[in-house]
């Protein structure tokens, strides 16, 4: 199976440096332009399935793509971002100032077992993403599938493909509407592309400067 994975377009939370997690934030005006640019790039591509996280920012991005490809979108809650619980909607700066010790523990956790307050851990996220991947492979063993999802989900796929442990999850750039592509073979996973945002080159320099890696 070949799996093309797209991160959603930017939200205001991304632009403001806030933790989003599973808070159901919509695309910002910039995010909508990014999603349309991605959709234009994929226009006419035929997928065996287009599967999206059920969170609004991913659904909006997937909807733009599906309209240009003439296909339907299937929603899968297991493609949601990691739950950040009580930190959702709060700024990274605020959390670092008020709960910096816990944030540092999460950022340096070598097991992936430390959860966000009232939320999930990296290990829990990885387990549900790999469950979704297994189901997808069973349904489309020779297919070409598009996932529209979130930065944390993309990191989990990369960790799995590279055989890395959970503390390495911070090493990957995952720009808004970036594309990643994987080929799942019997004995290995090939990474065919990563953090491909070339479709955003037509956006203005001002918009380019607004992009964020914050999830």
Q: Which of 13, 36, 81, 150 is catalytic?
A: 81
CA distance 28 to 203: 15
Annotate the chain with DSSP letters as a single string.
Answer: -EEEEEEPPPBHHHHHTB--TT--PPB-HHHHHHHHHHHHHHTT---SEEEE-SSHHHHHHHHHHHHHHT---EE-GGGSPPP-GGGTTSBHHHHHHHSHHHHHHHHH-SSS-PPPTTS--HHHHHHHHHHHHHHHHHH-TT-EEEEEE-HHHHHHHHHHHHT--GGGGGG----TT-EEEEEE-SS-EEEEEEEE-GGGTTS-HHHHTT-----
Q: Is 8 a catalytic residue?
A: yes
CB atoms within 10 A of CB 102: 14
Kindly list the catalytic residues: 8, 81
């Amino acid at each position: 199976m070949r799996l093309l994975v797209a991160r959603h377009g930017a939200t205001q939370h991304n632009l403001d440096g806030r933790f989003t997690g599973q808070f159901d934030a919509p695309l910002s005006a910039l995010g909508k332009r990014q999603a349309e640019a991605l959709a234009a790039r994929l226009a006419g591509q035929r997928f065996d399935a287009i599967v999206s996280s059920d969170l609004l920012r991913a659904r909006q991005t997937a909807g733009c793509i599906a309209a240009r490809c003439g296909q339907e979108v299937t929603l899968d809650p297991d493609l949601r971002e990691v739950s950040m619980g009580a930190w959702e909607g709060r700024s990274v700066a605020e959390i670092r100032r008020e709960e910096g010790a816990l944030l540092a523990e999460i950022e340096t956790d070598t097991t992936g077992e430390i959860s966000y307050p009232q939320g999930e851990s990296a290990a829990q996220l990885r387990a549900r993403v790999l469950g979704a991947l297994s189901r997808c492979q069973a349904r489309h063993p020779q297919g070409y599938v598009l996932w529209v999802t979130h930065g944390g989900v993309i990191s989990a796929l990369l960790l799995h493909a590279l055989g890395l442990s959970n503390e390495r999850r911070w090493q990957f750039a995952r720009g808004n509407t970036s594309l990643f592509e994987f080929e799942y073979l019997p004995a290995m996973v090939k990474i065919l592309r990563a953090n491909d945002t070339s479709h955003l080159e037509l956006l203005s320099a001002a918009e380019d400067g607004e992009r964020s890696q914050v999830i």
